[in-house]
Amino acid sequence: MTIEELEEWYKNAPAPQMPVHLDEANTVHDYALFVNSHFEGLKFAKVELTKSPLMTRLLKMKLLIEANL
């Protein structure tokens, strides 16, 4: 999935109730800040997307939202 495809998915996705526990080390308290900061970081990242923790967390959040639809 490209950054653009994922960004488009997030534009139409319902925001989950906060907080969201992505895993034992990551808890999201502000959904909009989480999404915006992760996409901003990805756009300026010089690493392969599959190795980016930002992409990993966005995909985890996507899975959690889809599981609760």
pLDDT tens sequence across 31-41? 999 999 999 99
What averages of pLDDT result for each successive group of 10 residues across the chain (69 residues)?
A: 92 95 95 96 80 92 93
The pair of structure tokens assigned to 21 is 């526990």
CA–CA dist 12, 34 (Å, integer): 16
Question: Locate tokens 């923790």: which residue?
Answer: 53
Name 54's Cβ contacts closer than 8 Å, sequence gap at least 6.
Answer: 38, 41, 42, 45
pTM: 0.90
